[in-house]
Chain A
Amino acid sequence: MNSVIGANIVRFIALLLVQVVICNNINFLGYINPYIYIIFIFLFPIRENRLIFLLVSFLLGMMVDMFSDSGGVHAAAAVCLAYSRPVLLKTSFGMLYEHQTIKFSNTEVGSLITYITLGTVLHHFILFSLEIFNISNILLILKKTLFSSIFTILLSVLIIILFSRTRK
Chain B
Amino acid sequence: MQQIFNFVIRNKTFLLFLLLFSIALALTIQSHSYHRSKFINSANGLTGGVYGTFNSIDQYFDLKEENAILSDENKRLREQLLNSVNTSDSSYIDTTSYSQGKYRVIKANVYKNSYSLTNNLLTLNRGENDSVKQDFGVITSKGIIGIIDNTSKKYATVLSILSKKSQINAKLKSTNHIGSLIWNGESPEFTQLIDVSNFAPVKIGDTIVTGGQSAIFPKGIGIGTIDSFETDISGDTYNIQVRLFNDMTNVGTVYIIENLDKTEIKALEDSIDE
Chain A residues with CB under 8 Å of chain B are 17, 20-21, 24, 27, 30-31, 33, 50-51, 54-55, 58, 61-62, 65-73, 75-76, 79-80, 82-83, 130-133
Whether A24 pairs with B13 at a CB distance below 8 angstroms is no
Name B40's contact: one of A21, A62, A82 (CB within 8 Å).
A62
Kindly identify, within residues 115 to 129 of chain B, every residue whose CB is under 8 Å from any CB belonging to chain A. Answer: 115-118, 121, 123
User: CA–CA, A72 to B26, complex, Å?
Assistant: 8
User: CA–CA, A83 to B47, complex, Å?
Assistant: 27
User: CA–CA, A24 to B16, complex, Å?
Assistant: 29
* 11 A-B pairs in the complex with CB atoms less than 8 angstroms apart: A30-B188, A50-B13, A65-B27, A66-B41, A66-B44, A71-B30, A72-B23, A72-B26, A75-B27, A83-B17, A131-B118
Known: A21-B50, A54-B16. A79 touches B21 (CB 8 A): yes
Kindly identify, within residues 2 to 48 of chain B, every residue whose CB is under 8 Å from any CB belonging to chain A. Answer: 12-14, 16-17, 20-21, 23-32, 37, 40-42, 44, 46-47
Name A79's contact: one of B24, B30, B50, B123 (CB within 8 Å).
B24
Whether B121 pairs with A61 at a CB distance below 8 angstroms is no
Whether A27 pairs with B249 at a CB distance below 8 angstroms is yes
User: CA–CA, A13 to B94, complex, Å?
Assistant: 45
Known: A20-B50, A27-B249. A71 touches B116 (CB 8 A): no
Whether B25 pairs with A76 at a CB distance below 8 angstroms is yes
User: CA–CA, A133 to B112, complex, Å?
Assistant: 23
Distance (whole angstroms) from the CB of B118 to the closest CB of chain A: 6
Distance (whole angstroms) from the CB of B75 to the closest CB of chain A: 31
Whether A69 pairs with B157 at a CB distance below 8 angstroms is yes
Distance (whole angstroms) from the CB of B42 to the closest CB of chain A: 5
Whether B115 pairs with A75 at a CB distance below 8 angstroms is no
B interface SS class: helix
**B109 touches A (CB below 8 Å):** no
**B98 touches A (CB below 8 Å):** no
Contacts of B47 in A (CB 8 A): 20, 66-67
Distance (whole angstroms) from the CB of A129 to the closest CB of chain B: 10
Whether B117 pairs with A131 at a CB distance below 8 angstroms is yes
Other than the given A20-B50, A67-B112, A72-B26, 8 more pairs (CB < 8 A) read A21-B51, A58-B24, A65-B27, A67-B51, A72-B40, A73-B28, A75-B20, A76-B21
Closest 7 CB pairs of A and B: A71-B31, A72-B27, A76-B24, A72-B24, A75-B24, A31-B116, A69-B121
Whether B37 pairs with A69 at a CB distance below 8 angstroms is yes
Name A17's contact: one of B16, B25, B50, B188 (CB within 8 Å).
B50
**B152 touches A (CB below 8 Å):** no
Whether A70 pairs with B117 at a CB distance below 8 angstroms is yes
**B253 touches A (CB below 8 Å):** no
**B114 touches A (CB below 8 Å):** yes
User: CA–CA, A24 to B187, complex, Å?
Assistant: 18
Distance (whole angstroms) from the CB of A1 to the closest CB of chain B: 22
User: CA–CA, A148 to B87, complex, Å?
Assistant: 47
